[in-house]
A and B are shown apart, each in its own frame.
Chain A
Amino acid sequence: MTDREVATDGGAVAESGEPASASGGSALSRLRERDDFVVVASAAALIVFPFLLVDVLGIVGDVIGLSIGGYTGLPSLVLIYGIIVIGFNLLLGYTGLLSFGHAAFFGSAAYSAALFSQVVPSPLLMVVVGTLVATLLAWPIGFVSIRRSGVYFAVLTLTFGQALYFYALGPGSWLTNGDNGFSNIEADGLFLGALPFDAPLTPLPFLDSYTVMYGFAAVSMLVAVWVGNRIINSPYGLIFEALGENEERVEFVGLNVFRYKLMAFVISAVFAGVGGALFVIHEQYIHPTTGLYWIQSGDFVIMTVLGGTGGLVGPVFGAFVFEYVANVVSGVSLPAIGSIGSLWRFVLGAVFVTIVWVFPRGIYGAGEDLVAMLTDRSGGEGGGDTAAADGGERE
C-alpha cells in the first residue's frame, strides 16, 4: 500500500519535477548508494534496539538500582511513533508546515483498521485499510488547509481533528464505543492468528523482547525508512525543502506550490495512517483521547522537534526519547526525591524549550554537531546535508 502510493507520487515527480532534478544528475547515483546504506544501517539498528532498550538498560538499571530498563512492547511502540514522525517531519521539517491535526489521520486509521478487523481479521489488510482511510481523509483536509499558511493552517488542521474527536467521543459512540474504548479487535497474530503478536520471534529466552509484533513493526519501519529516504533524496524532497526555505522562489521557478504542499501533506498522512493501524494492532485497543485529541497531534510535534527536524533519523530518535521518558522515566523512583511521577512533563517542557532555543536541529542534530566538533573534522561532510535542511540557515 505505502509503496504503491509513493510509487505513483514518484511518477508525478518525474513529469513535473524536471527543473529540480537537472541539478542533481550525477548526485543521484551517489544517493542511491546512500539509499542502500540507510536501509542497511537502519536494519542493523533495529536488530539491536530491543536488546539495548530492554535487556542492557535493564541490567544497567539493576546495577545502579534505578528501574530505567525498557519493557517488551516498548520497542514496537517507539517504532510505530517513529514511522509517524518520519512522515510528519516531511511536512514540518522540510515543507515547514506545522499541523496540529495529524491525530485525525492517526486516529481515523486506527479506528477503521479496528473496525475492519471484525470483517477480515488480517493485520496486513488492516494496515492497508487504515492507511487508505487516512489518505482519503487527508486529501480533502489538505486541499482546503494547504491554501492557508502559518497560524491559519495550524488552526484549520486542528479544527478537523477536534471535530472528529468530539464525534468519536459523543454522537459517534455507536461506532467507536466512545469513552469505553474500542477493544474488539479481531486480529491478534499473523497468518490468521497462527503466529500470535506477543509470541517471541526466536526460541532463545534472552531474546524474548523480540516479539512477532516487533518484527512486524520493524519491517514496517524499514519500509518507511526506505520510502522516506527515497522521498527526501528525490527531486520531490528537494522541492519540499525549497518550499520550507522560500516558497516564492519555488513559485518563481514555475512549480505548482499548492500541488507539492498537498503532496507533502498527504504523504505525511499516509505515514500517520500506517502508524495508526499498527498502533491498534499493537495495542489491541484505541480510545478517542489517544487517537484523535489534539494533544496527540501536539505529541507528534514534540517528538519531531525534540529529535531534530530535517533529517530522517532525528524524529525517530525524538519518538524514542519521548516514549522512553513518558513510559519508563516517569515510573522511576529517585532515592532523595521519590517517584518522578508527574514531574516528567515538567522536564519534557524544559528540554523542549532548550532544544528549540539552543539546538534548532534537535537532540540528534546536536549530537551530530558535537561529534563533528570533537573529531574536529569539517562538519560539512557528515552533518552537512542534514544541516542544510533545517536550522542551519534559520539563524
Chain B
Amino acid sequence: MLLLQSEIASILLNGLQQGAIYALLGIGLTIILGTMEFLNLAHGALYLVGAYVGLIVFQETTLTNGFLYSIGITSLGFDGGFLAAIVLVPVIGFGIGLLMERFVAEPFYDRPETDQLLVTFGLALIVEETIKNVIGGNTFQSIAPSTLFGVNVSQPVSLPFVGLFPSWRLLIIVITFFVIGVTYLAIERTDFGLVVQAGTRDSEMVRLLGIKINRSYSLVFALGAALAAFAGLIGASIQTISPQIGTTQALVPAFLTIVVGGAGSVRGAIAGGMVLGLIISAMTQTYSQWAQIVLYLFVALMLVFRPQGLFGTAEVGE
C-alpha cells in the first residue's frame, strides 16, 4: 500500500499525540521502578484518579447512580475550567503519591517484587470499584474545553500536508511535550534529579552514599503519581471517562512503554511511548485489524531480542 504524504503526516501527528500520553505514563512508572525497584500495578489507578479529579474540577457533572446519588447528591463538580484542572490534577496526584509511598509502597520495599505487584493489583481494584460505587458506573463525556485563553480550541485547524486536524489535539501535543521536557530537565539538571538518575542506575549505591533517601523516595513516587494523574487528565480531555479506563487504557500501555524503552530509563520511556504511539497510529491507518496484534508482537520481539530496551542499561526490574 502506497502511503500518501498527507497520510504519513497524519500518522506522525496522531502517533505523537498518543505516544505523548504513553510517555507521561511511562516516565512515572519508570522512575518509581528505577529508584525504588517498586513495581506499581496501581499506576493505571492513578491515571483513573487523574481523569476523575479533572472531571470534577473542570465542570459540574450530573450524577445518575452510585452512592452519592443515593444519598441525594445529584451533581458534583466545581466548574473550574480546564486551567484549574491542569494545575490541580498534578497537585492532587502528587499528594496521593506521597501517601501511597508512605502507606503502601514502603512496607513492601523489602518484600519480593511479586508481593509488590499483587498488593498494587488489589489496590487498583479497590480504587476502580470505589469510584464506580461512589460516583457511579456510568460513562461521562470527555472534558475538552471549547476555549482556552479566549482562543477557540474546539474547531479543527488546517495544517500543511495533514489538512484539517483537531486544534485541541494539537494543543495536547504541545502541552504534553512541554511537561515531558520539564520533567526531563528536572531529572537531568537538578540535585533531586541526580538522586533519581543515580537511583535508576544503582539504587544500592545511593543508599550507601547516605543521601536522605527516604525523602527522595517520597518525592520520586509523588512525581511519578503526578505524571500519571496528569496523563489521566489529558486522556479524559479526548476520550470518555468511566471507571474502567485505568485498567483498559493506562495500565498495560504504561508497562509496554517502559519495557520497550528500558525499565528505569526516562529517555527510554519517552522513546518507548513515541514508538508505540507511532506503531498504533501507522497500523490503524493501514491494516487496522492487525493493529493490536502487531503492537503486542512488536513488544514481544523487542523483549526477546533487545531485552535492555531502547535505552535501558542496568538490570532494573529484573
Q: Contacts A150-B317, A163-B293, A352-B118 hold; do A156 and B133 have CB atoms under 8 A apart? A: no
Q: A356 to chain B: which residues have CB within 8 Å?
A: 115, 118-119, 122
* A353→B317 contact, CB < 8 A: no
CA distance A395 to B108 in the complex (A): 10
Number of chain B residues close to chain A: CB under 8 A: 42
User: Which chain A residues border B258 with CB–CB below 8 Å?
Assistant: 151
Q: A147 near B297 (CB under 8 angstroms)?
A: no
| B292 at interface, CB cutoff 8 A | yes
Q: Does A92 contact B (CB under 8 A)?
A: yes
Contact A152 B121 (CB under 8 A): no
Q: How far is the CB of B236 from chain A (nearest CB, A)?
A: 22
Among B121, B133, B259, B299, contact of A343 (Cβ-Cβ < 8 Å): B133
A305 within 8 A of B: yes
Closest B-chain residue to A97, C-beta based? B114
* B33: chain A residues within 8 A (beta carbon): 151
Query: Chain B residues with Cβ under 8 A from A305's Cβ?
Result: 118
Complex Cα–Cα for A124 and B194 (A): 62
In the complex, chain A residues 355-386 whose Cβ is within 8 Å of any chain B Cβ:
356-357, 360
Q: Quick one: closest B residue to A163, CB to CB? A: B296
CB distance from B250 to the nearest CB of A (A): 14
B115: contacting residue among A147, A152, A348, A360, CB under 8 A: A360
Given the complex, which residues of A lie within 8 Å of B212, measured CB to CB?
A: none
Collect the chain A residues with CB atoms within 8 Å of residue B118's CB.
301, 305, 352, 356
CA distance A207 to B145 in the complex (A): 64
A residues contacting the other copy or chain, number (CB 8 A): 41
Q: Does B162 contact A (CB under 8 A)?
A: no
Chain B positions within 8 Å of A147 at CB level: 304, 307
- The segment out of A164-172, A215-223, A256-264, A265-273 that lies at the interface is A164-172
Are the C-beta atoms of A394 and B112 separated by less than 8 Å?
Answer: yes
- The yes or no answer to B125 lying at the interface (CB within 8 A) is yes
The answer to whether A342 touches B137, judged by C-beta atoms less than 8 angstroms apart, is yes
Rounded to whole angstroms, the CA-CA distance of A346 and B129 in the bound complex is: 5
In the assembled complex, the Cα of A394 lies from the Cα of B118 at a distance in Å of 14
Residues of A within 8 A of B292 (CB): 162-163, 166, 170
Contact flag A349-B123 (CB < 8 Å), given A155-B255, A301-B118, A342-B133? yes
Tell me how far the C-beta of B139 lies from the nearest C-beta in chain A, rounded to whole angstroms.
15
Residue from the list B113, B296, B297, B299 in contact with A150, Cβ < 8 A: B113
Contact B122 A352 (CB under 8 A): yes
Answer whether residue A149 sits at the interface, using C-beta atoms and an 8 A cutoff. Answer: yes
Asked if A152 and B263 make an inter-chain contact with CB atoms under 8 angstroms apart, the answer reads yes
> Does A294 sit at the interface, judged by CB under 8 A?
yes
A159 touches B125 (CB 8 A): no
Which A residues have a C-beta under 8 Å from some C-beta of B? 92, 96, 98, 144, 147-152, 154-156, 158-160, 162-163, 166-167, 170-171, 294, 298, 301-302, 305, 342-343, 345-346, 348-350, 352-353, 356-357, 360, 394-395
A–B pairs, 6, beta carbons within 8 Å: A151-B318, A159-B300, A348-B125, A349-B129, A352-B118, A357-B107
